Amino acid sequence: MALRYFCTTNISTRYHEASTKTPVPPSFSLTNSGMHSSTPEANTKNKSTADNLKSIVNALVLPSISSSPLHSLHKGNWVKLICGASFEDVVDIRNLSLVYTLAGVDCIDCAADAAVVSAVNEGIEAARDIVCVRRPWVMISVNDDKDLHFRKAEFDPEECPADCSRPCENVCPANAISFLGKSSGISCNTEATSVLKDGVITERCYGCGRCLPVCPYDKIREVTYVRDAVTTADLIQRDDIDAMEIHTSGRQSNLFKQLWSALGDSVGYLNLVAVSLPNGGDSTISSMNYMFSIMKPNLQSFNLWQLDGRPMSGDIGRGATKESIAFAVQLAKAKERPPGFLQLAGGTNAHTIEGLKKEGLFQTTINEYLHDDESAINSSGSPHALIGGIAYGGYARKIVGRVLRSMQSEHGGAASIEDHSEYLLMALKEALALVGPVKCL
Ligand code: SF4
Ligand code: SF4
């Protein structure tokens, strides 16, 4: 009963109890080297706000993440932040990684790009400079074929009629479309340039596709791509990558086989291999079994199936998570599925936990779910939660992204969030409201 009480405790309330005791000063740096201010009074305030942030993380987050990401998968409280397979804004990615590391995520999933991986790891280490939290696994995402997650929108702004009301700009959830860039206040956070261009800011576009149908002049094109397997195999051998996710339709097993074969021995460097697939109805389980048979001879790590409900839609609203819940119910009932953890994604948001609880799937073991004495043995050989956890993408980026946008409009597009404590506290509050319920904070 005590556990049930803590699981239903409102994280926002607990956060406020801890955080509102100390007023937040206007601005200071939380980094070990940068807690500077101009007056002794301000320095005292700065120190108490830093202590306040540390006490929140120490009290709420650390107890729940004292064990490994693998343990979270077993318990069913694994949380993954999806930065986006195509999202390459390295400043945002670093800040998001910092905030969600402090909030206790188990894994951060990002594009299979060297600069992006470095940004994720910099964010993680910056968080660990503030409070000694456990390092989340870093996962890179690749694809075996054309896939919604691996595309960019593109158009030539010179071709746009001057009187167009620019619905593309309004509908974009990533602030990836801009006109008159130099006056818009949005930054193009790439390593190469900080100059904003008109049109699609390629690094920020993550391929959601929402701009494509709204253009009344049909000016916007989608450009799809497949990550190169050989480059990916080299990247995996870096010592700051722990996991890989293969996005597949599940219908082209020859392409999956080609990719797996091209990755070769590099998969031996990983702790976890995930396969992200859509719900293929009756053929889903047979596709999963076939893909597992391809991976098995060379699989030296744990494996996970990402159930991709409604891709890149979690920020749209409450109903977006329904498809991922339905997918989980379908897989939970299937007895012939291959080994591997199950994790939800695609439309996941603040309503996902509620949906899982309604279906009796939140942190439930297979024996509890099926009322069955048959033992549930996963790839590690232990009974575990039927649903290992949840990955949050668009929704997670939206709630913290709002804070990042405010900070950038005040302090510039390259601002590091640890240098602006009031924003870090706001962002951490948002992140904890999402991560906390999964971790039963
Ligand atoms: S595809 Fe999505 S993220 Fe990319 S520009 Fe269009 S609306 Fe923005
Ligand atoms: S909606 Fe189409 S025509 Fe209008 S600004 Fe956007 S891309 Fe150009």
Q: For atom 5 of ligand 2, which residue has the closest CA?
A: 166
Sign of CA dihedral 286, 288, 290, 293: negative
What CATH number has the domain spanning 151-224?
3.30.70.20
16, pLDDT greater than 70: no
Q: Give the span between the Cα atoms of 97 and 424, in whole angstroms.
A: 12
CA 320 to the chain's CA centroid: 16
Report the largest interatomic distance among the alpha carbons of the chain, rounded to a whole angstrom.
Answer: 68
From 154, 159, 160, give the residue whose CB has the most ligand 2 atoms within 8 Å, as the site to mutate: 160
What residue segments make up the domains of the chain, in order of their start?
Answer: 64-143+226-396, 151-224
Task: Spell out which residues line ligand 1, taking CB within 6 angstroms.
Answer: 153, 171-172, 174, 176-177, 200, 205-211
Q: For atom 8 of ligand 2, which residue has the closest CA?
A: 160
Residue 306 CB: number of other CB atoms within 10 A?
27
Of 379 and 108, the structure prediction assigns the larger pLDDT to 108
- The predicted-structure confidence for 341-378, as pLDDT tens digits, reads as follows 999 999 999 999 999 999 999 999 877 776 654 444 44
- The predicted-structure confidence for 216-256, as pLDDT tens digits, reads as follows 999 999 999 999 999 999 999 999 999 999 999 999 899 99
What CATH number has the domain spanning 64-143+226-396?
3.20.20.70
What is the structure's pLDDT at 191? 42
Q: Radius of gyration (Cα) for the chain, nearest Å? A: 22
Q: How many C-alpha atoms does 413 have within 13 Å on its Cβ side?
A: 19
195, pLDDT greater than 90: no
Whole-number Å distance, alpha carbon 124 to ligand 2 midpoint, is: 38
Lowest-pLDDT range of 44-58, 98-112, 129-143, 160-174: 44-58
Residue matched to tokens 């801009």:
178
Q: For atom 2 of ligand 2, which residue has the closest CA?
A: 215
Indicate the pTM of the whole model. 0.87
- The predicted-structure confidence for 259-315, as pLDDT tens digits, reads as follows 999 999 999 999 999 999 999 999 999 999 999 999 999 999 999 999 999 999 999
Ligand nearest to the CA of 204: 1
Q: For atom 4 of ligand 1, which residue has the closest CA?
A: 205
- The predicted-structure confidence for 372-420, as pLDDT tens digits, reads as follows 544 444 443 447 899 999 999 999 999 999 999 999 999 999 999 999 9
Ligand nearest to the CA of 177: 1
Task: Spell out which residues line ligand 2, taking CB within 6 angstroms.
Answer: 155, 160, 164, 166-168, 215, 217, 219-220
Q: Please check whether residue 35 is in contact with residue 50, taking contact to mean a CB–CB distance below 8 angstroms.
A: yes
Q: Give the span between the Cα atoms of 29 and 36, in whole angstroms.
A: 7
**What does residue 246 show for φ and ψ, rounded to 5 degrees?**
-105, 120
Which atom of ligand 2 is least distant from the CA of 214? 1
What is the structure's pLDDT at 180? 67
Q: For atom 6 of ligand 1, which residue has the closest CA?
A: 211
Return the DSSP state at 279: -
Whole-number Å distance, alpha carbon 173 to ligand 2 midpoint, is: 16
From 184, 215, 221, 222, give the residue whose CB has the most ligand 2 atoms within 8 Å, as the site to mutate: 215
Give pairs for 253-262: CB < 8 Å, separation 24+: 253/287, 253/290, 253/291, 253/294, 255/144, 255/145, 256/144, 256/291, 256/294, 257/294, 258/144, 258/229, 259/142, 259/144, 259/229, 260/294, 260/295, 260/298, 262/229, 262/230, 262/233
The mean pLDDT value for 125-136 works out to: 93
Q: How confident is the model at residue 65 (pLDDT cuts 50, 70, 90)?
A: confident
What is the structure's pLDDT at 67? 82
64-143+226-396 with 151-224: one CATH topology?
Answer: no
Provide the residue count of the chain. 441
- Which residues are registered as beta bridge partners of 342? 305
64, pLDDT greater than 90: no
Q: Give the span between the Cα atoms of 182 and 192, in whole angstroms.
A: 17
**Please, which residues have CB within 8 angstroms of residue 110's CB and are 6 or more apart in sequence?**
83, 84, 85, 87, 93, 116, 117, 119, 120, 138, 139, 140, 141
Which token pair is 51?
């202590």
What is the structure's pLDDT at 48? 64
Of 58 and 396, the structure prediction assigns the larger pLDDT to 396
428, pLDDT greater than 70: yes
Pairing outcome for strands 199-200 and 177-178 = antiparallel
Mean per-residue pLDDT over the chain, rounded:
86
The mean pLDDT value for 414-436 works out to: 94
